Amino acid sequence: MVRVLYAGSPEASAVTLGILLEKSAECGFEIAGVLSNPPSAKGRHKALVPTPVAQLAEEKGIPVFTPEHLDSAAREAVQAVNADILAVFAYGHIFGPKFMSLFKFGGINLHPSALPEYRGCTPVNAAILNGNSKTAFTVQAISQKMDEGDILAQEEVVLNGTENALSLLNDAAVRGGKMISLLLKSVSENNSLPAGRSQQGEASYTGIITKDDAKLDWSKSSREIDCAVRAYYGDPSAWTLEKGLPLKIIEGKPLSDEEGTALGGSNNVAPGTVSVFAKSAGILVKCGSGFYAVTKLQRQGKNAMDYKSFMNGARDFVGTVLSV
């Protein structure tokens, strides 16, 4: 039976780990250990909390390794579980040649993009932000250069324009878990990693998302605003300024100029102006073209609210100009 070291940290990666655990017996592999980020301080009392992946592994009685660095001490600890292959989703560290030499079948990595498109750490966000009509989930062989390994499996994903960063990442976690399971089954049956294909086409890259990246520019079209809201859903969340204070825009829907004016919106106002409260649609904010109907938002220090609840306590909100 193939022994697997699984590396990952966030909630989506824990979903993938859960699927691997479910599929392990029928696919001829076992999770011998888990590699995850160290616990982080959370909450008012700054208690150290393990990552979701580490928590799941601990619940299942699987050895967990949480080194700060993949140094000689980390390699020695990992070597003790005698894993044959490394499987990765959202771990966030580069694996050097000394670390990879621990695994006779090398390593595989789940990357939620149509590689070589959107290499790097935020491919899901980039696909949504750019309004792509499709993307892909890819399992690649781990190489020494970031996301440049051969493609072992790839599934195209059609985007309908309603996905947000969280929902698309969770989709990748579920489908990716099944893809990895089948690859590990092949390794078990053939005693080798399947041959991959080299990446074709021009590469593009993504980077770490900052809070400034998520600030909305209301001079853009309502469709572009919608892409930004969905791309930055969760952390850091799209935001704007209301009278100098941050206001998160969590959910909404783009409307054309015609749709907006039919609901009472005005085209004769500056972009960013809260034009009308349309009870059937949302709080309409004028964009460079079209309107964005905000349906969920959050003021600083307050809970997130649906638009009707928000307007109950913000009756002077209409007419406010949200800054770009």
Question: pLDDT of 142-157, one tens digit each?
Answer: 998 889 999 999 999 9
Write out pLDDT tens, residues 150-194: 999 999 999 999 999 999 999 999 999 999 999 999 999 999 999
pTM above 0.75, yes or no: yes
137 forms beta bridges with 155
Q: How far is CA 169 from the centre of its chain?
A: 4
pLDDT at 57: 98
Q: Is the pLDDT of residue 31 over 90?
A: yes
Q: Is the pLDDT of residue 45 over 80?
A: no
Write out pLDDT tens, residues 66-80: 999 999 999 999 999
Listed residue (72, 142, 152, 37) closest to 100, CA to CA:
142
**DSSP-derived 3-state class of residue 315:** coil
Cα separation, 13 vs 301, in Å, equals 30
pLDDT at 50: 95
Cα separation, 143 vs 155, in Å, equals 20
